[in-house]
Amino acid sequence: EKEEYTLKDQFYGEWNIFRKAEEAKTEAELIKLGPVVKEVVKNLGLKYDDVYHPLMRHITDMWSRSWIGRNYKRVKNFFFPPRKNPFNPTPEEIELAKTVFDFQKSISVRSIGNSNVAEVNVLCPTMRVAEIVNELADVYLKYRRQQHEEEAMSAANILNTQVKRAQEKLEKTEKELQDYAVKHDIKFEFEKEHGDVKILVNKEVELLSTKAAIEEVEAQLAEI
């Protein structure tokens, strides 16, 4: 019993969270999710220079690429060598993370009134901005459709479990009721209605037989 109510609470809790996510004011967070942006970057093969950078990030990147910045880092690593471990990111992973992070900063969404429509703006330093926005919309819709499907399947599985348990309880209760009636020789009221229906059916059968017999006798009489 405790497990059953836990499943119910879990289902309705997740359902409330899901419904809140449907509100237009949260669309910005949904379309800028890390998996969505990362997939767009990979699908289009975007590099760090293909996306917009906030001012301070751009200045930091220029510093790290400059002759002074590169030599400063080399001297720093010579005197204070970084610890090596298997979890250190590769240069490609660092480039991808920087690209995804700055790409997220370039996306803004403005809700239009109380509707489910929103205006998406993406800042981009190249002419690929239209291609990027279209891919972002396609990937976002794919994730949204996947979310709807997973939510619907989860709801169906939980509700099917509840229906199965309710059916088992109903069958158990009916059996206990029948066993109690047999043990104590009790006739419930619905059995009276059941008997009346059987009598009515028998009367209708007799009526049809009588009508057939009458028709046969009338045919013989007409022939005579």
- Tell me, what's the pLDDT at 21? 45
Q: What would the pLDDT profile of 52-89 be if each residue is shown by its tens digit?
A: 888 777 777 777 778 887 777 777 777 777 777 777 77
Residue-averaged pLDDT of the chain: 77
Task: Look up residue 81 and give its DSSP letter.
Answer: P
* Short-list 51, 70, 205, CA closest to 126: 51
Distances in Å between the Cα of 177 and the Cα atoms of 184, 193, 194, 195 are 11, 18, 17, 19
What's the CA gap between 114 and 224, in Å, rounded? 88
Q: Provide the 3-class DSSP secondary structure of residue 125.
A: coil
Q: What would the pLDDT profile of 180-204 be if each residue is shown by its tens digit?
A: 877 776 655 556 666 777 788 888 8
Q: pTM of the entire structure?
A: 0.53
